[in-house]
A and B are shown apart, each in its own frame.
Chain A
Amino acid sequence: MNKYRLESASAAGLETCFDAKQPVQARLAVAPESPSVKAMENKNPASESLTMLNKPAPAEQLLSAQPPLAAARPAEPAASRPESRSGAAAAQFKLKAPSDWWVKASTFVYPLLFGILIYVLWQSGLLHKMLGTDDFTLPAPSRIVRIMQDNSGKIWANVITTLQAALSGLLFGSLLGFLTAFLAMRFPRWGSGGLTLVSAFNAIPIIALAPVITNWTKDVSSDAATRSMVAKILVVTLVCMASMSVNAYRGLTELKPFSLDLMHSYGSGRGVEFIKLRLPNCVPYIFIALKVGVPTSVISAMIAEYFAEFITGVGRQIRENIVLAQYPTAWAYIMTACLMGIVLYAILISVETVALRHRR
């Protein structure tokens, strides 16, 4: 980006110089008839030799009386001083505007068109014919939406439960993951071992983890709702920990060349180094981890609900309604689950856009 801007700026500078040279050449062409130039040529080869390599000087000698050069000279510093980004960006925008606009819009338009197509097929019943299914197993979208409206109170209560498990699990998991990353950065020798261990947890399927943890936590509280919540949060915590620890470790240790030297040259301690350098450097990596963590937390919370004791939460409702063959209600909860994931992800992306708006 920078390089390109610089090139274009200096090219612009050269062009101006080139234009200004036109009169020079014109003048040179008639030089033999011009006594003044001839005289100057003969006069001092020595002074010329000194300034020969210095481009502006001969031009000045030849053309000191000509105004176009005066116009050309200010262009030279401009060539060595790149113009500000906004100017260059504006020029590029002009050039690329239509295609740029379409590239941005198409990432939004194509999926939207696809969604509309699916909706039309689904609502009209064509999708059922294509999949060889019926209205009862796969109700039309309008019916699912109606069920969601009719049961909004109950669905909302379940959403809250699932969100509680997902978000607190995400919070604890992220904090623990960051702590692991910090320890791995601070004490590389045995910290990296901890990092490997945490990553190994990530390899355990949630489906295997959830029943085990439900079993472990059966004595935590006499209240089934509390026991279930603890189990769910534990599952989500373990699942979210890995991506945070690995990414945060990268953010804390993968620093730009010399940035640590810079800190050392100020004689700064580890604390200052962490606050001023490592932590801010880590922020984009934390968002990478959260982009994995947020959808995973919702999914793992719902899977944990499958195995939990207490019959609550969006995931559990999907299961219960399928078991009872209440497919339209099950579909309403599936739709709710999708919306939860999408909304949380959208919030995360918005926060990230604001938080990282100045970074490249």
Chain B
Amino acid sequence: MIYTVGRLKRTAGALASGTAADLNQNEPSSEPTPTEQTVQSGISLSGVSKSYPVNGEMIPVLKNINLDIQQGEFISLVGPSGCGKTTTLRIIADLISPSSGTVLIGGQTPRQARLQRRYGMVFQSAVLYDWRTVIKNVMLPLEIMKLPRQEQLQRAEAMLDMVGLKDYATHYPGQLSGGMQQRVGIARALALKPDILLMDEPFSALDEFTREKLHEDLLQIWQKTHKTIVFVTHNIAEAVYLSDRVCVMSPHPGRISNIIEIGLPRPRNPQAKTSATFSAYVNLVRSSFEGV
């Protein structure tokens, strides 16, 4: 026991002294910025504001959001409760409309993009319909698209395979753990074969072990499918670990405080979380918040 403590102290010292060197070491190996890519499934928000009437007064929730998301980019919106990150995502998804400003999704309005089912959405809870089996849940959007039955089955099976739940196809949601349910939710979003994946705090209700597993799953899926992912979270480490860029938002009114490019090399693995560079990025994100 005593031995362990002593060892911890020593390594902590080594980590502290190595911070600067680590940062320098990793900086050059960061990925090239994807600016030269096409914006086919890129998302651009310009001057987007949203306010709600409260007791006859218009309370601004989002103020002048400008953000360009590149095709194939993994971007996180991170911030405390009430900073408007979910509102921003819902505006992109056309679940609410902005009070002013314009949103373009690959040149289309959010409404057009929604009706063409260009994005898949994953919510805070898995939102599985508990009267449907797992595979039937994944098939739900495909039924609505009126695809041929055989194709529905094939696609749903492939997606379940991708999230590692092939053996659970005929189970009911009530028989799965929270993490498995959320993976079904992701499979259902992917079943549409969308260009864009919108994720609203998808892992916030999960325990740490499951969450870390799903991080790896998600990164793998992203690498395989090259989707544009907009990921909303209040977990800074999660945002840094997963993203190409982290968009830091602050509340009252909701606004973008900083956009930080994460230079950690890809593909990422859990070891990266222990590096000093990682901690430095986490601290950078944390210090970017304005007010509370």
A interface residues with partner B (beta carbon < 8 Å): 2-3, 5-6, 10, 28, 31, 45-46, 48-54, 57, 77, 79-82, 84-85, 256-259, 261-262, 264-268, 272, 276-277, 280-281, 283, 358-360
Contacts and interface: CB of A to CB of B under 8 A. Distances in A.
A360 B130 contact: yes
Nearest to B3: A28
B124 interface: yes
A6 B207 contact: yes
Interface string B107-134: 0000000111101110111010111110
Given A5-B177, A51-B274, A52-B15, A265 B119 contact: yes
B257 interface: no
Contact of A53 (B90, B119, B274): B274
The SS class assigned to the A binding surface is helix
Interface in B266-290: 270-271, 273-275
Contact of B275 (A28, A50, A81): A50
A267 B174 contact: no
Contact of A276 (B120, B144, B213): B144
Nearest to B14: A49
A258 B198 CA distance: 14
Contact of A3 (B115, B132, B178): B178
Nearest to A53: B274
Contacts of B11: 45, 48-49, 52
A267 B114 contact: yes
Contact of A261 (B119, B121, B207): B121
Nearest to B181: A2
A276 B125 contact: no
Interface residues of B, number: 54
Interface in B227-250: none
10 contacts: A6-B177, A6-B210, A82-B177, A257-B123, A261-B123, A261-B127, A262-B127, A265-B95, A267-B116, A268-B144
Contact of B127 (A50, A259, A280, A281): A259
Interface string B73-99: 000000000000000001001110000
B95 A264 contact: yes
Contacts of B116: 267
Contacts of B178: 2-3, 6
The 6 closest A-B pairs by CB, nearest first: A49-B14, A80-B209, A53-B274, A82-B177, A52-B11, A258-B123
A80 B212 contact: yes
Nearest to B8: A52
A166 B89 CA distance: 53
A31 B175 CA distance: 48
A52 B12 contact: yes
A277 B141 CA distance: 12
B161 interface: no
Given A51-B271, A52-B274, A265-B93, A79 B123 contact: no
A52 to B, nearest CB: 4
Contacts of B3: 28, 31
Contacts of A265: 93, 95, 114, 119-121
B271 A258 contact: no
Contacts of B129: 259, 276-277, 280-281
Contact of A262 (B10, B14, B121, B175): B121
B131 A359 contact: yes
A84 B175 CA distance: 8
